[in-house]
Amino acid sequence: MILNFNDPTMLAAARGRHATLRWRTGVGVLFMAGSMAVLNSIAAGLSWFLVLCLAMAFDQVLAKSYIDSRGVDDRRTAGGLYARGSFFSICVFAAMPIALAAMGGGPGRVLGVLMAASSLVSVTLSTFQAPRFMLISSLPATAALLIIPLIPFGPAHADAFQATFGVGCGVAGFLAYMGRSAFNNTKMVAGWRAANAAAKERQLEAEVRRAEAEEANRAKSEFLAVMTHELRTPLNAVIGYAEMIQEDLAAEGRKDLGDDAGRITSSARHLLGLIDQILNMSSMDAGHEGLALRDVDVRRLIEDAVTNAQDEARAANNRISIRISADAERAHTDGNKLAVSLSALLSNAVKFTHNGLIAVTAEVEGHMNGDVLVIAVSDTGIGIAKEDLPRAFQPFTQIESATTRSKGGMGLGLSIAQRMAQALGGEITATSEFGSGSTFMIRLPMRENAAAPALAAA
């Protein structure tokens, strides 16, 4: 189907023609007067105008029916009738220019050309929203303009005054259409400029609000960084004194009190770990992510991370194994960030594994852009459901289940690990099956450079 009568642009074109009926009728009076003068026949001009008015009235009724119709089928039927009625009324108008060229002599040709050109402008004004309908509607006027030069010249029936008056009416009608076209274009351009100015204003407001939000977030992160530093100092003192008391009580054989001191130490270390997570997150949010690149002993870094996690692993009756390939024992990267990322993965594995095995492996994969260090932390713990994996790295997010909630925590560990890996130009990927364990893999360049984080972020 050439025309889609359910298209909003077609409905807009119908509304355009419906709204310009009075205007077209008024300009038609000018053309009627001009035709009477050029043809020297009141009957010819008046009869044509009456037929045109009847056609336009019929066109108006069909347009109203089409605009008010509802439903796909009803609109298709009403639209088809409207398109036929509109085309018929345009053909009635285009018939007069041909008659003027055939019977009006030179003045008739001039008036006929002006009327056909005015018809083209009228069609463009009212139907430009629907290009296909506009093209079809312009065919009668275009045909008239092509036929007029082919009509042999004939004698003029009007005297000089009538010819001048008739051509003047044609010029006035054509200028009226051109003036309305200029007015509509000016109005449309003004609307576009107003819309563009409003869009720019909204964009500026959005940028200002975003800048304010970023500044507020940066201030919050800096505040958290300062506060966590202030909390670490007394907390380290609490841990130190608790350990000293525990050792003294153990030496005196007072086991019960020694266990109480041990619980103080354990709780304090847990709180210290939470503070460290907040410190890491706030430092990254505040933009303090500079790299301290150096040659890193990967084997020692992994062994230190495993040593720090051994106490919790033994408490849960877990075993931790290490396997490091020879070519993966050294890398050029930021050791502190890699240690934070690895410790977070180990802590997560220990937390959700009981009476199981945690395996830490390191190896090198060859890639076109350079060798990649791959550190994998696998466990035989509770695992993560496939649909929950995408949420695992979101900050302050814990997988919703009674098991994970019983473990506590703020849901920052994996998020911090991922951001640290990305700062090193790499990433962390995860594979897991609920009930069968998980594997988290850190992939990062063997030889890091300062531009890598920016490339990774891009």
Long-range contacts of the stretch 392-395 (C-beta < 8 A, 24+):
392/430, 393/418, 393/428, 393/430, 395/281
The tens digit of pLDDT for each residue in 363-391 reads 999 887 789 999 999 999 998 888 888 88
The pLDDT assigned to 333 comes to: 92
Lowest mean pLDDT among 29-33, 78-82, 281-285: 281-285
Q: pLDDT value at position 340?
A: 86
Q: What is the pLDDT of residue 398?
A: 67
Q: Where are the domains of the chain?
A: 8-158, 294-457
CA-to-CA distance for 171 and 155, rounded, in angstroms? 22
Is a pLDDT exceeding 60 seen at residue 428?
A: yes
The answer on pLDDT for 222 being more than 70 is yes
Alpha helices per DSSP H over 286-412: 298-315, 335-351, 402-405
Q: Which of 174-178, 198-202, 279-283 has the lowest mean pLDDT?
A: 279-283
- Residue-level pLDDT at 385: 86
Which tokens hold the place of 384?
Answer: 């993560």
SS3 376: strand
pLDDT at 13: 86
Comparing 344 with 272, the larger pLDDT belongs to: 344
Q: Which has more pLDDT, 254 or 428? A: 428
Binning the chain into helix, strand and coil, the percentages to the nearest 5 are: 70, 10, 20
CA 377-380-381 angle, 5° bins? 100
pLDDT of residue 217 exceeding 80:
no
DSSP string of 46-112, one letter each residue: HHHHHHHHHHHHHHHHHHHHHHH--SHHHHHHHHHHHHHHHHHHHHHHHHHHHHHHHHSHHHHHHHH
261 contact partners, CB below 8 Å, separation of at least 6: 242, 243, 245, 246, 249
**Burial zone of 68 (CB within 10 Å; 0-12 exposed, 13-18 middle, 19+ buried):** exposed
What tokens were used for 248?
């003294």
The CATH topology of domain 294-457 is Heat Shock Protein 90 (3.30.565)
Decide if pLDDT at 456 tops 70.
no
pLDDT averaged over every residue in the chain: 85
The string of pLDDT tens digits covering residues 258-315 is 778 877 887 777 677 667 766 666 666 655 566 788 999 999 999 999 988 888 899 8
User: pLDDT, tens digit, for every residue of 49-70?
Assistant: 999 999 999 989 999 999 888 8
* Per-residue model confidence (pLDDT) at position 285: 61
Q: Which of 356, 352, 333, 348 is nearest to 416 (CA)?
A: 348
| Whether residue 403 has pLDDT greater than 80 | no
3-state secondary structure of 248: helix
What average pLDDT does range 14-35 have in this prediction?
89
CA of 223: how far to CAs of 83, 220, 274, 399, 428, in Å?
69, 5, 16, 28, 29
